[in-house]
Amino acid sequence: MDNNGCLPCTRREGFPAGLRVLVVDDDPTWLKILEKMLKKCSYQVTTCCLATEALKKLRERKDAFDIVISDVNMPDMNGFKLLEHVGLEMDLPVIMMSVDGETSRVMKGVQHGACDYLLKPIRMKELRNIWQHVLRKRIHEGREFESLEGFDFEGIHHLMRNGQDQCCDDVSLFALEDCISSTRKRKDADNKHDEREFGDSSSTKKARVVWSVDLHQKFVQAVNQIGFDKVGPKKILDLMNVPWLTRENVASHLQKYRLYLSRLQKQRDQKKCSSSGIKNPDLNPKDPGSSSIKNSMNKQQNVVSIDGFRCPNNGLVQLHESDFTVSELNKTEQRRALATNNIIPDPNMTKVSQIVLNQTFSPLNSEGNIEVFDCTIPTQYTWNQVPKRKLQDDPKSQSIASMVSSPSAASSIASSAVDNIIPVQSKSLMVNDQSSVTSNPGLKTQEFDASLIPDLEFYQQNLLWGGEAAFSPLEEDLNFFLLQSECYNDMNFGMHSIDMSDYYYDPGLTADVPNHLLYDSADYSVVDQSLFIA
């Protein structure tokens, strides 16, 4: 099922047919084979032999692919690095492949966020099942989002805001975000999501790292000290000097940090395009990648195309179709606001958020059919994140935007709420109305700002995520038989479709072939000549 331009319309019944796969491998032979195999699975395949080209493709059309399969060893970019970028910018599931199946490599893949690691040669049945990674990601993040309402991110934020100067805004905001995402990311599929409390770092199987404000501040200090472009998890870890923290913790936190920064950058850029007067605190200009949340949701009643199975007609997974009505979401938001109230009494803060919440929902009320994620985003965006397209013609939102008096508070709420939405990104949400699909429908921030590209490349050049491949000595015997058999003279290279006679080794062959022709030593003289003898 190879629909070139349009998305497959029979997704609902044909799933996983039409899965849009991007394959990256520098070996053209493998690329050809994988393409063939994936097409046999009825997937829609795009191939790339360069990682940089793959990234370009991904950035050009954020929602063009559902999953990425990449080789580990590539000339222009390490596969792990590509993995990181894709995870950071597009949050697509990435499968790594290699002929090298050594444990340390596989572990590295997992640590960098690969959702699977396949060993070459790859079998068809392995490829048939890759859709599970796409689905899992959607479901997983969908579930976690629902459980976030008990989370006191606004309270924490308030704590941090007090007594901190401007430059620590990043710290506070990011810590919030990371608290959310660490709650999110450390769940496995079978967990009960409901009662996880923020701050619970009890000894579960996966020891959870709680990135408190202090810890995050240490982190940021370390990052700034090293220099944002030279930063690496090991260096940060060393500088932070927190004994129980692992490199892996730092690495994942760093990833989120970058994501967060680039999102802020995006927000600022979008703000420039709007007439809103809200300022953002100054941030580190070197923002990797791009991740601003697309705010089509503000006005978008029906379109929720998250990157991932985006089908205008019907989404892949009908996760939250019309479950959440506006009023229900209203409740959710207000409950959260109330929770905030209880924990950290801060009338000012709450008021602002309340105002925003209340305001936000009124325009929504007039629109039908709002999906879950649809609803939540406007909460954050109406007064901070101003999408180029929509808010410019929405006086209501703009007035809301100007309503918020304190820029930093607003932006921090925005960011925290925005961050709240992060788990929601790349969900497979249903697009109810095809006609209202915008050109940038993703909730997730796929729009890559061209001005950020130089930063990204510079960044990746300076980033040392891993060392050389570790080679393990393989104890394989070499069974090498050089049987002296008859001269192998009979192949006539009359195959026009394949110009095999061009190769350096070209025995003359006649018509009839003896059976024991597997081995011959006739033409090794040719071979010897080309050998380097030390």
- Where on the chain is the footprint of other proteins (CB under 8 A)? 26-30, 32-33, 36-37, 40, 71, 73, 98-100, 120-121, 123-124, 468-469, 471, 473-474, 476, 478-482, 488, 491-495, 497-498, 500, 503-505, 507, 513, 515, 517-520, 523-524, 527, 530-534
**CB of 205 closer than 8 Å to CB of 247:** no
**CB of 86 closer than 8 Å to CB of 94:** yes
- Please state at what angle helix 213-226 crosses helix 247-273, rounded to 10 degrees: 80
**CB of 20 closer than 8 Å to CB of 323:** no
- DSSP letter at 468 equals S
Smallest distance from the beta carbon of 38 to other proteins, in angstroms? Answer: 11
Which of 409, 469 has the CB closer to other proteins?
Answer: 469
Which of 139, 491 has the CB closer to other proteins?
Answer: 491
Smallest distance from the beta carbon of 493 to other proteins, in angstroms? Answer: 7
Which of 6, 531 has the CB closer to other proteins?
Answer: 531
Calculate the alpha carbon distances from 357 to 67, 181, 382, 397 in Å.
Answer: 35, 22, 9, 12
Smallest distance from the beta carbon of 480 to other proteins, in angstroms? Answer: 6
- DSSP letter at 94 equals E
Please name every residue paired with 20 in a beta bridge, in sequence order, or none if there are none: 44
Smallest distance from the beta carbon of 159 to other proteins, in angstroms? Answer: 51
**CB of 296 closer than 8 Å to CB of 390:** yes
HSE-CB of 104 using CA atoms within 13 angstroms:
7
Which of 189, 482 has the CB closer to other proteins?
Answer: 482
How far is C-alpha 267 from the chain's CA centre? 19
Which of 105, 320 has the CB closer to other proteins?
Answer: 105
Which of 107, 495 has the CB closer to other proteins?
Answer: 495
Smallest distance from the beta carbon of 500 to other proteins, in angstroms? Answer: 6
**Separation CA 245–CA 189 (nearest Å):** 25
**CB of 29 closer than 8 Å to CB of 10:** no
Smallest distance from the beta carbon of 80 to other proteins, in angstroms? Answer: 15
Smallest distance from the beta carbon of 528 to other proteins, in angstroms? Answer: 8
Smallest distance from the beta carbon of 121 to other proteins, in angstroms? Answer: 4
Tokens of 487: 């001269």
Which of 338, 527 has the CB closer to other proteins?
Answer: 527
Which of 433, 490 has the CB closer to other proteins?
Answer: 490
Which of 244, 481 has the CB closer to other proteins?
Answer: 481
Stated as kind and residue range, the H or E segment containing 34 is: helix 28-40
Smallest distance from the beta carbon of 474 to other proteins, in angstroms? Answer: 4
Count Cβ atoms below 10 Å from residue 100 Cβ, excluding itself: 16
**CB of 67 closer than 8 Å to CB of 426:** no
Peptide bond into 16 cis (omega under 30): yes
Three-state SS annotation for 209-225: CCCCHHHHHHHHHHHHH
Three-state SS at 294: coil
Name the maximum alpha-carbon separation found in the chain.
Answer: 95
Please name every residue paired with 46 in a beta bridge, in sequence order, or none if there are none: 22
Which of 12, 40 has the CB closer to other proteins?
Answer: 40
